[in-house]
Amino acid sequence: MNKRKTGFILILLFTMALGLLYPQNQANKQKTKDSQIEGEVVDLTCYTSRGLSGAGHRSCASRCLTRGAPAGLVDQDGNIFVIIAPSPGYASYAAQTIRLSGNVEDGRISPKKMEAMTGKNWAEVALQGGSPKPE
């Protein structure tokens, strides 16, 4: 009988502890926030499988993005952000540094605003569905 009571009390304490911890975990979850990320546009297929990026990979990345390979943005620290938007619009910006502003969560960005270098200044690029509008 004593073992039953001890087992019951342990289960009860364990259940109470889970009940106390669960709301704390929910409160600590990362919420989406608007942020600006500056980085190089890459096609994630070549970048994640072979580490290919930069000017030497521009034409391949452009072709891959045109064909629908996922687009990504790699910042100065090497962090990769998946661009949640149609990738063909980013093909003409392959291997270029751009700025994207929008909702960032768990390594993904939903763009609301884009800027690209024109000469020595940043210029806003019109977006349609999160992707640059065709010119």
Q: For residue 31, with 0-12 CB atoms within 10 Å meaning exposed, 13-18 middle and 19 or more buried, which class applies? A: exposed
pLDDT, residue 27, reads: 45
For the chain, give the percent of residues with pLDDT over 90: 66
Q: Given a cut of 90, is residue 14 above it in pLDDT?
A: no
Give the architecture (CATH level 2) of 34-132: Beta Barrel (2.40)
If you average pLDDT over every residue of the chain, what do you get? 86
Instruction: Calculate the dihedral angle through the C-alpha atoms of 85, 88, 94, 100, rounding to the nearest 10 degrees.
Output: -20
The reported pTM is 0.75
> Could you tell me which residues come within 8 angstroms of residue 46 by beta carbon, excluding any fewer than 6 positions away?
52, 53, 57, 60, 61, 64, 69
SS3 22: helix
Mean pLDDT of all residues in 23-48: 77
pLDDT, residue 66, reads: 95
pLDDT bucket at 4, cuts 50 / 70 / 90? confident
pLDDT bucket at 5, cuts 50 / 70 / 90? confident
Instruction: Evaluate whether 84 touches 109 at the Cβ level (below 8 Å).
Output: yes
Answer with the residue of higher pLDDT: 4 or 66.
66
Mean pLDDT of all residues in 25-42: 74
